[in-house]
Structures are given as C-alpha cells and as structure tokens.
Structure 1
C-alpha cells in the first residue's frame, strides 16, 4: 500500500480517495486533527470563506479536557494556554457555584444572590488536576478554533463549499455536490455541519430534525472591572449559576479573566412550544431582557442590561433513536446530537466523538487496507456513541428544568435539585473513553490481530 506524509505522519489510505469532513467548526476540526495524527487522508469542506466560530465562551468539564489530550497532546497544551479557570484556588474542583437568582418563594426564605451549594467533582477531584487543568475550564470559542487550525496543514481544506448532496457511485465512493456547482470525490463522508446539518437528512431522513425546546438566550460580555464593581471579585472571577423560577443566569470569566461571559435563559410557560421565525437569532432589546428577569438579583440584572447584545438566540436540540451512519456517511457532534447548553457539555461531547471516531477509522484502515466496507467502522462508532450522546440531550434538558425550579417533584427544593444535578454530572464527567474505544474495537473482529 502506498503512503505519503502530512505533518510528518504517514497517510495509510493514500492510495484511496480522502475521507471528507463536511464542516470546519470545533467538532470537524477536532476530528481532522485526530485523523491526521493517525495518518488518515482527509479533506475538509467548509461553507464559510474562513474558519470562524459564533459565540463567546465554551465550558469544558473533566471528560472534555481528557478527550482533547487523547485526540492530540498538542491540542490539550494549546487549550491550556488560553483556558480560564475559577480564580479562587479553593474552587479548583468546583464546576459552578449555585446561587439563588431571585428571592426564595417561602416565608423567611433565601435572598437573591445567596449561595445554594457548590457543584463540584466530589468523586475524582484530581481527575482534571492530573492533566494540568481544573474541574471547570472555559475558553473563548475563537481561541479554541485558533488552536485547532494551527494543527491543520495547508492543502486539506476547501472554503466556500456549502454542502448540498452526495451521490453514491458504482464503486461505493461518494460524489459530493456543493451549492456553487462544484463537486468532489471521497471514499466516505463525515457530517460535522452542526445543528442545521444537511448531512443528517442523508443519514436519518427528513423526519429527524432540530426541535425548539421553549427556551432562548440573552447574552452579554462584561469587562472585568465593570463586573467586579457591580458584583464583587468573588462573583465576577468564579463561575456562578443563578437559579430561579422559570429561568436561570450563568456567568463565568473568559479570556484569562479579562471579561465575564453572561447568559440569561428564560423558559417559556406551558408544555408545547413553536418557533415561528425562520431565523433562530432574532433582534431583541434591553427592555425585553429586563421584562423577562423582573425581580432577579438587581446588580446582576443591571449589569446584563447595560451590556446585553441586541439579539436573542432560540435553543434547539436533536433528539432521536436513528443510527448515526448510513453506508459511507456518518455524523459527529451537533449534527447527530445537539443538546441544550444547560450542562455546558455540547462541545465537550463533540471532542469525545472526535477521539473515538478518529481512532476507530485509523484502526479500521490499518487492518482492512481498503475502505470498501468502512460502514463496519461507522457501525462500531454508533454502537458506543449514540446511547451516551442521546443521554446527554436528555440530561441537559433535565438540568435546565432543575435549575429553573420546574422539574416535577423537585420544584424549588434546593437540596433535591443539587442531589439530582450531582448525579447528572457524575455520569458526564467520569466516562472511561479509552475503555469505550476498546469496546468499539470489539465490533471489528479484524482489528484483534493488530493489538495482540
């Protein structure tokens, strides 16, 4: 079998068409980094004219930072260079400080701003420390994108390529069609094209689509001095989650503490919701925010009002039971399992996907020496990732109900809320990804001889 080198790594499938990665966001680039490290020939097709990310901060828990290092140690090191942590070193194992966002609706109840509990890693607090991070870390999306792009060599990306469709050829390879009329050939395709994925329709059919969850977000990025002046250093420099009746507000430092990212998310009343607008990001006003958060912790509301962006972002998720692959097409990240942000785990789950899929594909190619039945590798990936990632969609929704005090049977019982949240985060943080990969490999018997 012929081979070539990219970034000094031998490409084991050089004699075949590349594996196409549709979408150059965080998940797609993490997968590309993992595949390139393993010597797999790839090509990235990105709809935009440059790599870019929307949004400010993204949170990573211990599972997510471990995945970065497993994909490529250089990725973890780059991440650590830009990551922001809780300023208080006594809170190294704390993911969030849970607080009352408004007065407790009980006689002589707690007041807005008061502490409920510390949501922390009580099961393995040294898990994050062992790789040089802390239980909670945050990074500006643009900085993480920069780290990923720095690990992508020239010549493997095509920009301004909005994916339209794919056609299977007589030999099983794929012809990719783009909106500009151009085409490309690939041995297989992985859709990393986000929550509005066009690849998902190929794999799952049109009936599996993103669903509005009855929530939307107001966002603000506040300079450090202003946040400290209004809230005090402790609240400004450490992650806080303000719980309330029908809404919550999360705040945390980014850019090494130079700014505090703030996101306020109200939950619509009732059990059935629809989003009528074509766009998911719609114009909004400071008045809209204040109206939704009347009665909340005054210094926090005043601060967000001052810096509130003039838009709201509707929240959707992708919940289903369909396989994440069909033939030579596979899904990764939000295209397969977009979740609400209530556990700060969406990007981290895509990093887990990237680690598992990049290694499965590499091992598959090493054993099979051809890509004719690559569906076997995708089947192994689906077998270990679908249940966990769809569980995150469910758990993220539960988390939102808990911190909004609208979970049936819990409501504003703070003790019960914390207990259930801890169960959700224990499940999230301490998955053994390397064991998951070994289990996935068991679905490809031909791999056994390589690792004997």
Structure 2
C-alpha cells in the first residue's frame, strides 16, 4: 500500500461508549478532529469552563503544517486564515534569521544586531509551497484554537471536568473520575492534559515528571508601529533570533503583522538548577528583565521593556523512557513529551501525534483492539519525540553560545542547526504511519 492510499476500513465503535479525550488543548482537539473524520465516536473532558489557550504565538515548520493537512484539509484551511508569515517575500524559505544580540566576543568585530545567517529550508522548500504556506508560519494560539473548535460537532465536550483517576472495569472499558465527584465511562482514553498531566501518573507512574530546564521566558507583544520604529521593517516583520552569551531573544510577527511577539530567555548559570516556586509562572518586573539583558541590542531591549508582561515563565521538559500507554489509556502531546521551545516544534509534534494516533485507531476493527494501536503509536512516536526534547535542550545552549565544543563559533553552529531542522522538517509522516501499521 502506498503512503497516500486511503483505506475504506470502518472502525467499529463500542456500541454505547466513546473514546474519551482528557484535555481540550490544541493536541486534544486536533486528535478529536482526526478521529471524527474517520467516523470514530469521541467525547472531550476539559477542566476549564471553556476552551482557552495560554500564551501568544506558536510557530509551525513544514512538518507541522503537513500534519495539519493530513489530519483534515479543513484544519489546514482554517489555520491559513490566521497564519502570519515573514513579510519579506525573499524570506519565504527562511524559518528564522540569526543575529547577534550582543557584541561578539570572539574577535570577529561583529556588533549587536548584525546578521549571522538565514536558517532556510535548503532541502525541500516546495513542500510548504504546495500547502499554500511558507517555511515558517506563526499563529496566535487563540486563533488556532478557534479554528479547531469550529470543526467539532456540538455536544461532544464536557467542561469543568478535572481528571483525577481512571479505573479499568472487568469488561475492559474504563471509568474516569473527576474532581467534582462525577464519573464517566469510555471504551478507551487518551490523556491530552499537558505537561502537568494527571493521566501520565497512571501510564508512566508518579515519578515521571517534567524537570526544570534552567531557563525562563519574558514575553512582550509589541504593536507593529512601535516594533518598526525601534527595529526597522525588516527586523520587525520577519522572524529573528538574537543570540547572546547566556541568553537569546526570538521575535516574529503575529496577527497578520499587527504585532511582533518577542520572547527573551535567559539561561541560569551552572547546571544544578531548581525551581522552588509552586507555580511555573511567577511575577517579574521590568527592572529584573533589564538586569538580565544588560549589554544587549538597545533598540530591541527597549521595545521589550516597554511592553514586557509582568511575569516570567519557567521552562520544563519531560525526558523519560517509559511507554506512552498502559492498557486502554494513552498519552499525546505535552502529557507524553513536553519540550523546551528552542526549535519551535512542541505544538507541531502534537499535530504529528494526532495524525498518527487517529489513523492507527481508525485502522483497528474496534476498541477491543485499541491497545495494539497504542503500542504501535508508542513504538514510532516515542523515539522521535524524545529525540526532539534532547535536540531542543542542546539548541538552547547553542543559541546562548554555551554549547560545549562550539560556543560562539557561528559557522559550526550553522551546521548543527541545519542538521536539527532537516531531521525535524522532513520526516515523512505517511511512511511513519505505514511503519506503525506494519506492527499491528
């Protein structure tokens, strides 16, 4: 069977029970859309009172937009309505432009703001063009969520359902228990409840928890006019990554260029970091941000300081070797493999997950065989997603000029980043799916 072949196989749902999706974030909703497309009955249980997303922009590379099209062409069409691209058409194939965020210390005389190189898809840029997008596209999380919700039928979501535990009944079905005392039965369940997942405790054990990466982020949404005034049109309206000694800043346009999203990420010194606060988002001041970025490119720092949110976000990652499923409970997205944002690939990996898992489930005869689908999903997705976590952590060191053996040698850095992005962007998801189906 070729990777593009569409099977006429029809999945037989449990006669009365749906597959439960725990969590209504981007990954959970994308999975629901994929399953519904194949005629699989689902129900979403979301802890909040309504669908919502935290954060501003999310970046998608060619692998991510390809996954959207494979899940459902309507999803890609909705995404494109709100996607923002590099405004300079000469940068259609560019994911991000690397620049010095501070004066170089390696003797090459380069100054803060100077160009280092353009990170481009030098392998298959036509892949993005065929989908009507470009190598880099960005979207406001809330806009993307709206497009996902628009593709869901009414009546398949229960809100205010904070998952607490799961029990497997004698007939193999599962019973979900929620913090409000209510319960629900399902033929199987998929945990899409994020980096602080409770579903993960029942799959991997309570010891598998996300660990602090020694980094946190300051964020600012700068109006276009102010960004252009500070940086000029080229820097304000196209994706930029400013490298520095011990930190980096990434900027890119969102909302069709109405704003420039700016994220500044310092790296804590040493390697024995701990995050002692109970919350992962804590108050921060403008003065604290300015202390971290003293000596950086002044126009950039001034723009961020004026619009910086009074908070900082700790960065965590979920490195582990445990299977992503146990019995009839499987994990997807951040609940299984949360990563740092240094390659701009976390949300895209959830879209890949949704494509693979929805198709594997649909290829089964019924939910009685769903554990086979979960096993095949784990076999093909765990190596790739855990490798992303490792690559992203090292990429964070690279952008901070502290990667061992390379530091601020920008020629060597270019080779590292090109290797990471070639691996990331040009995985053929259809072949990955066929490999997984061959394990069933």
TM-score, normalised to structure 2, is 0.97
SS in 1 for 2:144: helix
Q: Deviations over 1:25-53 (max 9, x none)?
A: 00000000000001001000000000000
Indicate if the aligned counterparts of 1:11 and 1:41 stay in contact, CA closer than 8 A.
Answer: no
- Which residue is 1:87 aligned to? 87
1:442 and 1:145 map into 2 onto residues whose CA distance is 33
- Which residue is 1:161 aligned to? 161
SS in 1 for 2:336: helix
1:429 paired to 2:422: no
SS in 2 for 1:248: strand
- Which residue is 2:396 aligned to? 400
1:145 paired to 2:145: yes
2:314 and 2:435 map into 1 onto residues whose CA distance is 37
1:206 paired to 2:206: yes
The answer to which of 15-24 and 189-198 deviates more is 15-24
- Which residue is 1:271 aligned to? 271
> Shift of residue 106 of structure 1?
3.1
- Which residue is 1:349 aligned to? 349
1:54 and 1:64 map into 2 onto residues whose CA distance is 20
- Which residue is 2:233 aligned to? 233
The answer to which of 107-116 and 346-355 deviates more is 107-116
Q: Deviations over 1:331-382 (max 9, x none)?
A: 0000000000000000000000000000000011xxx2x3223211100111
Indicate if the aligned counterparts of 2:11 and 2:362 stay in contact, CA closer than 8 A.
Answer: no
Point out where structure 1 has 5 or more consecutive residues left out of the alignment: 1-9, 445-452
- Which residue is 2:126 aligned to? 126
> Shift of residue 110 of structure 1?
0.5
- Which residue is 1:46 aligned to? 46
Write the mapping of 1:237-386 to structure 2, written as runs, cut at 5 A: 237-364=237-364, 368=365, 370-386=366-382
RMSD (Å), alpha carbons:
0.9
Indicate if the aligned counterparts of 1:219 and 1:262 stay in contact, CA closer than 8 A.
Answer: yes
Indicate if the aligned counterparts of 2:99 and 2:116 stay in contact, CA closer than 8 A.
Answer: yes
Indicate if the aligned counterparts of 2:14 and 2:367 stay in contact, CA closer than 8 A.
Answer: no
> Shift of residue 14 of structure 1?
5.3
Indicate if the aligned counterparts of 2:106 and 2:408 stay in contact, CA closer than 8 A.
Answer: no
1:34 paired to 2:34: yes
> Shift of residue 398 of structure 1?
1.1
Indicate if the aligned counterparts of 1:317 and 1:337 stay in contact, CA closer than 8 A.
Answer: yes
> Shift of residue 15 of structure 1?
1.2
1:431 and 1:18 map into 2 onto residues whose CA distance is 32
Point out where structure 2 has 5 or more consecutive residues left out of the alignment: 1-9
Q: Deviations over 1:149-207 (max 9, x none)?
A: 00011110000000000011111111100000000000100000000000001000011
1:23 paired to 2:19: no
> Shift of residue 107 of structure 1?
3.5
1:75 paired to 2:109: no
- Which residue is 2:6 aligned to? none
Q: Name which of 384, 395, 418 aligns with 2:414.
A: 418
1:109 and 1:36 map into 2 onto residues whose CA distance is 57
TM-score, normalised to structure 1, is 0.94
Q: How many residues align?
A: 431
- Which residue is 2:101 aligned to? 101
Alpha carbons of structure 1 residues 439 and 16: separation in structure 2 relative to 1, 3 Å: farther
- Which residue is 1:185 aligned to? 185
- Which residue is 1:449 aligned to? none
SS in 2 for 1:341: coil
Q: Deviations over 1:274-333 (max 9, x none)?
A: 000000000000000000000000000000000000000000010001000000000000
2:411 and 2:11 map into 1 onto residues whose CA distance is 54
